[in-house]
Amino acid sequence: MNTFSWLLLVFSLSLTLIQPWLGAGFLLLNLLTLGLYYIDKRASIKNASRISEKTLHIAAVLGGWPAALLGQHYFRHKTQKTSFIRILWCCILTNTMLVSVASYWYYSSATIQ
């Protein structure tokens, strides 16, 4: 495993210490996203029915973007298509902003009470 994989695992485990359901959900979503990339790569090799890019982007914006980046790297999948990469980075930014705003809102309202 490379450094990014270890960081993903440590982050998932640290989330589990804070909120067990949050860490488990994050880990499951990332495993699902990695599986989608694997299945799509195998389908592209065999010229079989593919997973839509929209589905891959939805998985990324919901929080599976670390696994999407990992899947791109390990499976060498969707690395040349610039439009896909551009949208993936927009998904990453969107997810990061939404999580940041939600965390700020949650923790700022928790400290007021």
Give the rounded percent of residues in the chain with a pLDDT score beyond 70: 81
Whole-Å CA distances, 62 to 30, 46, 80: 10, 28, 23
Q: Which domain holds residue 107?
A: 3-112
Domain count of the fold of the chain: 1
pLDDT band at residue 102, thresholds of 50, 70 and 90?
confident
Cα distances (angstroms) measured from residue 63 to each of 57, 94, 98: 10, 10, 10
Q: What is the dihedral of CA 19, 92, 4, 36, to 10 degrees?
A: 90
Phi-psi category of residue 8: left, alpha or beta, with phi > 0 → left and psi -120 to 50 → alpha: alpha
* pTM as predicted: 0.80
How many angstroms separate the Cα of 77 from the Cα of each of 4, 45, 63, 80, 111? 17, 10, 19, 8, 44
Confidence of residue 60 (pLDDT cuts 50, 70, 90): very high
